[in-house]
Structure 1
Amino acid sequence: MSILSEFKAFAVKGNVVDMAVGIIIGAAFGKIVSSFVGDIIMPPLGVLIGGVDFSDLAIILKAATGETPAVTLAYGKFIQTVIDFVIVAFAIFVGVKALNRLKREEAVAPSLPPAPSPEEVLLGEIRDLLKDPQKRL
């Protein structure tokens, strides 16, 4: 099998398409979470700890000289990114847990055929009587 045909077989599989859709949705979800953390969670948290904006927290390693910008260690942005990650991980955990619960309930409750209606029972008895002539008398 040539490399091109192997790649075509791989790319056309449903798992690859599902994965691509998941990555695209995950990227959009990441932007939503980043906005949620940066615009909604961090400002009140900054007020609670004394008006500190996490994105401004940094250690200056080398001061700016002339047109050369300062070299900083921006640990505030790192803290915000860690909080973003924790929220995204928790949201994914809750989603996977819900899906697992649905799969577990589906596996526990096998689908039984519905009980026959009274008309179906009566028609079955009539059929049985017609098959065996001795039962009719």
Structure 2
Amino acid sequence: MKSFIREFKDFAIKGNMIDMAVGIIIGTAFNNVVNTLVKKVVMPPLSLLTDDVNLANRKYLLREATDTAEEVAIGYGELIEVLIDFAIIALTIFVVIKFINRFRKKSEDPKNKQVPTPKDIELLANIERLMEQQNELIKNGSKKL
């Protein structure tokens, strides 16, 4: 039990828990933005295309409401809205990651002098250059024999 508590303490202190909490909070806020975008920006033009039908209210009625029983219906309109939410979130995440990867590739390119190269990438580039020089010396030395 003590090792479990120690592991949890290490996990929390190293910042993993804080990073995860920040990610969840940002994700929740992003979800609210996407929901508003879908409901207030995307869905109104779609409802115009469907003769002012609000997609959220679209359903397939299985049983009408009576005095003793509630209505039973499949709400496919809400499913359509959720799928649109998902598509917007997936597209946004794809664009953001593509944008980040482009800058990461530029920063990791040791030949690009516009972006300062991180020290570890610079050291690896130097090692690669030295190995190429060493291979050339070995090739030239074996040709002379």
Please indicate, yes or no, whether the TM-score normalized by the shorter chain is above 0.5.
Answer: yes
Q: Which residue of 2 aligns with 1:18?
A: 19
Structure 2: where are the runs of 5+ without partners? 118-145
Deviation, 1:67, is 5.5
Structure with the bigger RCO (C-alpha within 8 Å, sep 6+) is 1
User: Secondary structure in 2 aligned to 1:2?
Assistant: helix
Normalising by structure 1, report the TM-score.
Answer: 0.74
Counterpart amino acid of 2:80? I
Calculate the aligned-residue CA RMSD, in Å: 1.7
Q: Which residue of 2 aligns with 1:5?
A: 6
The alignment status of 1:101 with 2:102, answered yes or no, reads yes
Residues 90-123 of structure 1 show CA distances to partners (whole Å, capped at 9, x for unaligned) of 11111111111111100013647xxxxxxxxxxx
Identical residues among aligned pairs (%): 41
Counterpart amino acid of 2:17? V
Structure number, greater radius of gyration? 1
Matched positions, count: 112
Counterpart amino acid of 1:87? I
User: Secondary structure in 1 aligned to 2:67?
Assistant: coil
Classify 1:8/1:46 alpha carbon distance in 2 versus 1 (closer, same or farther; 3 Å).
Answer: same
Counterpart amino acid of 1:106? S
Q: Which residue of 2 aligns with 1:56?
A: 57
